[in-house]
Each structure stands twice: as structure tokens, then as C-alpha cells.
Amino acid sequence: MKILNITFVFSLFISVAAWAGGAGGFKGNGGDVVVCSDRPIQVLDLYEANFLRTVKPNLGAANLTVDQKVEIYLAALSRFAPVRAKMLRDGIVRFANQTNFISGVSIEDIPDSDQSFIIPANCKIMQIANRNPLLLPPGKTFAIDQALWDQLDNDNKVVLMFHELIYEESTAKTSKAIRYLNSSIATNEVQTWAQKDFFNALQAAGLKWFEWNGFQLDLSQEVNFFRDTANLILAYAVDQSDYLFQGQTIKLKNEMVRFFENGAPQSFSFYGTIPLTINDRQYNFQMDAENHDPAQAIHVTPNNQIDLDLGKYTNLLYIHNYLSLYENGAVASGPLSDQNRPRWTTQQFDLTYGYVEFSPNGSITLVAKVQGNVQVAGMSLPVDYSTPVVFDEQERVIRFDLANDIKGFPIQNTKIDLFGNSSLVLDRRGQVRQLTLASSARLLTTSGTEKVFKQWETIKLDEKQKAIYPPRKSKLVDMLN
């Protein structure tokens, strides 16, 4: 597609009084050129790059058109910033439509160059451009000195245009860091940079956002990096920015995005609903409308290692209002749409749920915001909505909390009362291995004697359903067998 043919044939004559400081003294950001008696005119960005870093523009052969050189510039930029490159390509078209060339008057100097070197005596810095819509007709943004523009080669014309477009976004007080960024792209020095180097250059240039592995991230909010690898740990997404996830373009919320040390995304929040199929089950992931959820979840590692000795509140986490991923991109956890909650029915349970966690192979390890029942010892026990249900690797329930007290629960050829809002831990055969009493009960213990256990006492049971006494520390993985 042809971007533009920059042979501007229009001119706007503006009075000396206006460009000498009219419009209430407003001065836009501008661009400079270095005019010398012994060399061709150059934009300050390229003159400075050659003077300080001994590099020259790398935008192709001299006979290439401006359009062709624009594409070479954007290709270099696309390595780190493909979205910004697309926006700047559109910006070049806008530049052509919004620029007025002036003749017969010099553009007033804008003291924003802050160069760190002395110009030779036979050279001088001149203002070639000013972004000052207050002094231009409606729809016009950029003013360019026609006489100076006509002396620029195509490399310098391209660099000047991108200087103006980048400066337009910047909040920097001077153009120094913008010139460094712009010239580093034009000379293709960016090809030797790491991603963190490009981030540093954008930040120094006062730009508002940056790209990292497909995300558009806000430079005005917290940004953290891993010390050893210089890869991104976390940043905040630009609100309503696009992200391509598993073939779907989604809109991100201005919430934290986390990354693994290898650069893969770990978690993010989004608008709308993401329909996904995981292990042949359909899910509609959706962020909570209030951006929080008070329900609590117990995090279970893939080998189900949880220390139960501190009771129900060991390793508690709040359900997170974001989609969480594994390093390979598979979904690890996320909240689900309340309008289309999954129903999961087996011989052991009948559950609907609003939050789910997966193992790396896609099996369910935990659900929360649960309604339903679990079959234990021939009884249908109601699940507490505010606590999670935990599963083993075969997706069998191994832990859940009771919604209310249970009367007459069968154990050891007797009946006991179970305390509501307490956890039941089951082994792989579905037998109870931990419970909490709603009233005192006499039970046979592993020591071979009977013992009266008190109301609200939590008891662990062995594989023969004997109460473990004296109590001993156990891991969940030990109790599953």
C-alpha cells in the first residue's frame, strides 16, 4: 500500500508576527536541522547520532523513495513494537494530511534540543518543524519550513517525520531522548538491543506505553523486571488494548499483567467473555464485575501437597480475578461467567461452580463458588459455597467444606454429628480421613482403645477409619492412599 508521496505542493504563508510568538505564546514541540557550509543539511537526530555514536542512517539506497524508506524504518521498529509500528504507519499518512509548509518566514526556535555537544563554528541549528495547531488552520497540526525541507534527502525527511510523530506522544520536556530513540531505529542500532534496552529508551523518551510479548503496557504505572534476566515480571495493561489469546482477540483491563521468567504471560484480566475448550469441556471465562471476589480457595500443587495440621485455613488464597496460565500457555485457573456456570456430575458428586483451577494436563484440581452435593458414606452432603472443592489427579473429590451441620453420619458402626463450615478430607476410595465433630463422640483409636472426642474437635482417621491418637502430623498426599 502506498503510504504517501511526499512531494508537497501546497504552501501556507504565515505572518512573521504569528510565528514570532503568537497564539498566546504557545510553542509546540518541534524538530531541528543542522545547517553547515561544508556538508549537506541534516536533521539533528542523525547529525547527533553520527557525531556521538559514529553511525549513519540505514534506510536503504539513496534512490529509494520516502515511502520505501518509511517501510525500512518501520521494519526495524517492529522487532520490539509491531503495534506502535502500525500506528506510526497510519501516523505518516496523517502527517501528510495535517502538514502545512510555510515559505518566506523562519519558524521560531523552540529551546528543547538539550544537545550535549558544541556545534562547529561553520554550522548552526535551525528550527524546521513545529507541532502547533493553535497557529494553523483547522485540521492542520504540523508546520514545516519549505526551504529547509527541500534541502533534505529522503533519509532525513523520514527521520524528521518520525521525530514529529514520536514527540507528539511524549511527555518529555526536551527532545534529547526522542532523538536518541528515533535515530537508533533509523540507523538500525535497535537490532543489537535487548528488549529491556528498547523499554529503557521508550521510558526515557517520555512515551506512555510499551509492548512486551504481545501486550500493550502502561509506562505510567508500576513496572518490574527480573534482576538476572532483565525479563519483565509485571506491568499494567493499557485499558481496552488488544491481546491475541488462543486465536481470540480480547480487550484487556487496566490491571496487572504478570510474566514468567522466560517471558511467557502468567496472568491478566480482560473485558467480556473468553470461551475455551479444555479437555473436551466448555468454559466461559469472565472477570467478576466488581473486580473482586471474597470467596477463598486453598491452593493445591500438582502433587496435592497441603499441610493439614493448621486446619482449614492453611495456605488460604483469595480467588483471583484474572486468568492464570502455565508457562506453556495452558490455562491454570480463572473465574467463570455466572450466567453460564458449568455443571459437573459424576457418581461421587453433582456440582456447579464459578471458579476453576487446572493441572498442567487440563484436569480439574479445584473449583470454587460451588453449589451442589458430594456423596460420602451413602449420604448426600451439601457443599459450602464460600469454600473450594479440591480434587486428586483422577478428578475425585478429596476435600470440601460442609454447608451446614450433618446429623447421623455413619462411622465405626455408630452415628456422629459433623460440624458445618468445616472440612471433610477423603481418600481415593471416598472414605473420610478428616472431620470435625458438631458434638462429642466415642470412637475407636489407632492405639486400640476408645476415646471420647470433644465437640468441635478435628479428628484424622486411618485407612481402617480408626481415629488417629495420639495425633500425628500428616500431609494430604499421605491421607489420600
For 237, other C-beta atoms within 10 Å of its C-beta total 23
* The pLDDT value given to residue 84: 98
**DSSP string covering 423-437, please?**
EEEE-TTS-EEEEEB
Scan for cell 472414605, then name that residue.
431
pLDDT per position as a tens digit, 362-381? 999 999 999 999 999 999 99
Which is it for strands 99-102 and 142-145: parallel, antiparallel or unpaired? parallel
Please tell me whether the peptide bond between 470 and the residue prior to it is cis, using omega within 30 degrees of 0: yes
Q: Would the CA dihedral through 386, 281, 394, 363 be positive or negative?
A: negative
Rounded distance between C-alpha atoms, residue 239 and residue 217, angstroms: 9
- Domain ranges in the chain? 16-196, 216-261, 275-479
- Reading the block at residue 248, the C-alpha cell is 481470540
* The pLDDT value given to residue 480: 57
Rounded distance between C-alpha atoms, residue 423 and residue 425, angstroms: 6
Length, in residues, of the chain:
481
Query: Residue 278: which of 389, 357, 214 has the closest Cα?
Result: 357
Which is it for strands 343-345 and 123-131: parallel, antiparallel or unpaired? unpaired
For 352, other C-beta atoms within 10 Å of its C-beta total 16
* The pLDDT value given to residue 436: 97
For residue 458, what are the β-bridge partners?
Answer: 436
- Reading the block at residue 303, the C-alpha cell is 502433587
pLDDT per position as a tens digit, 42-93? 999 999 999 999 999 999 999 999 999 999 999 999 999 999 999 999 999 9
- Looking at residue 143, the DSSP 8-state letter turns out to be E
Query: Residue 284: which of 274, 293, 292 has the closest Cα?
Result: 274
Asked if residue 144 lies in contact with residue 129, where contact means CB atoms within 8 angstroms, the answer is yes
Scan for cell 501546497, then name that residue.
10
Please give the order of strands across the beta sheet that includes 30-36: 42-43, 30-36, 123-131, 142-145, 99-102
CA angle 429, 431, 435 (to 5 degrees): 150
Asked if residue 129 lies in contact with residue 149, where contact means CB atoms within 8 angstroms, the answer is no
* The pLDDT value given to residue 475: 58
Rounded distance between C-alpha atoms, residue 39 and residue 156, angstroms: 14
For the chain, the first-to-last Cα distance in angstroms comes to 66
Q: How do the residues of the chain divide into helix, strand and coil, expressed in percent and rounded to 5?
A: 20, 35, 45
Scan for cell 481496552, then name that residue.
240
Asked if residue 14 lies in contact with residue 105, where contact means CB atoms within 8 angstroms, the answer is yes
- Reading the block at residue 214, the C-alpha cell is 504481545
Q: Which parts of the chain have pLDDT scores under 70? A: 1-29, 109, 111-112, 289-320, 473-481
Give the type of residue at 339. Q
* The pLDDT value given to residue 424: 96
Q: What are phi and psi of 53, to 5 degrees?
A: -125, 0
Strand ranges, E, within 50-157: 99-102, 123-131, 142-145
* The pLDDT value given to residue 481: 58
Decide: helix, strand or coil at residue 46.
helix
Percent of the chain with pLDDT over 90: 74
* The pLDDT value given to residue 116: 74
- For the purposes of burial, counting CB atoms within 10 Å of the CB of 279, is it exposed (0-12), middle (13-18) or buried (19 or more)? exposed
Query: Residue 162: which of 219, 94, 106, 115 has the closest Cα?
Result: 94
* The pLDDT value given to residue 288: 72
How many CA atoms within 13 Å lie on the side-chain side of 118?
3
